[in-house]
Amino acid sequence: MPDATGLELIGQELGDAVLETVFFRDRATLLIDPQSIRSVLAHLRGKGYTFMASVHGVDYYPEEPRLGVVYELLDMGRVDRITVKLRVPSDAPEVDSVTPDTPQGAGWPTCDHQEREVYDMFGVVFRGHPDLRRILMPEDYEGHPQRRDFPLGGEPVIFTYNEPHGPRSQR
């Protein structure tokens, strides 16, 4: 991990793109402006964080902006990790996809399935993703189940329709 000072330095280099730097339990996190995700990741790649370990979604319900996307970057040479986080409002959950190659920098092919999962589970739309479809849930599924206000359980048992609650129950 970069130490607290190193994180501040990275934050200063990125300028206005960084909204907040968080150093928590020896882990460095940059909270950034969703508009600048491609340029921030390209900058960090130039600093050695060339491996995208993970992309996942978080729901900060009931706070706004509600939906978060977290990118875990890794520098294998220095064994150094940094987390890039952005938050988008639930009424316009859109952010640029980092999967394809773009003028701002080379793409991260590993984000393909992971961005699809975030879209599937949270409904965050990744602009420019080559193939943004549901990945784990059925194609005709309604709703995004990992959102905090999505009810737990209540999925009807198929062909019986004896489950009284839930979004897809047949009353």
Partner 1 sequence: MNSTEESRARSEYRRREESITLSAVEEQIEDARATGGGPELLTLNFGPHHPATHGVLRLLVNLQGEVVRDIKPIIGYVHTGIEKTAEDKSYWKVIPVIERMDYLSYYFNSMAFVGAVETLLEVEVPKRAQYLRVIHMELNRIMSHLVWLGTSALDLGAISMLWYCFRERERICDLFEMSSGQRMHTRYFQVGGVIEDIPVGFAAKLAEFVAEMPGRADQYKALLHRNEIVLNRLRGVCPLDTDTLLGLGVTGPLLRASGNPWDLRKAAPYCSYGDFDFKIPVGTVGDNYDRYAVRMAEIYESVKIIEQALAGLPEGPVMTSDRKVALPPRHELATSMEALIHHFKLVTEGFRVPPGEVYNPIEGPRGELGCFVRSDGSSKPARVHMRDPSFVNLQAFSHIAEGSYIADMIAALAMLDPVLGGIDR
Site residues, partner 1 (CB under 8 A): 24-25, 27, 29, 50-54, 56-59, 70, 72, 76, 79, 81, 83, 108-110, 112-114, 117, 121, 134-138, 145-146, 148, 150, 152
> Considering Cα of 109, then 110, then 115, then 121, what sign does the dihedral take?
positive
DSSP-based helix, strand, coil % in the chain, nearest 5: 25, 30, 50
Rounded CA separation 132/109 (Å): 13
Nearest approach in angstroms of CB 165 to partner 1 is: 14
**Which residue, 16 or 19, has its beta carbon nearer to partner 1?**
19
Nearest approach in angstroms of CB 104 to partner 1 is: 17
Nearest approach in angstroms of CB 87 to partner 1 is: 12
Nearest approach in angstroms of CB 159 to partner 1 is: 17
Radius of gyration of the chain (CA): 18
**Which residue, 15 or 81, has its beta carbon nearer to partner 1?**
81
| Alpha-carbon separation of residue 124 from 4, 29, 42, 43, 159 (angstroms) | 30, 20, 21, 23, 31
Nearest approach in angstroms of CB 21 to partner 1 is: 14
**Which residue, 15 or 83, has its beta carbon nearer to partner 1?**
83
**Which residue, 16 or 143, has its beta carbon nearer to partner 1?**
143
**Which residue, 94 or 101, has its beta carbon nearer to partner 1?**
101
* Secondary structure letter of residue 156 according to DSSP: P
Angle made by CA atoms 52, 53, 54, in degrees to the nearest 5 = 100
- Furthest-apart CA pair in the chain: how many Å? 59
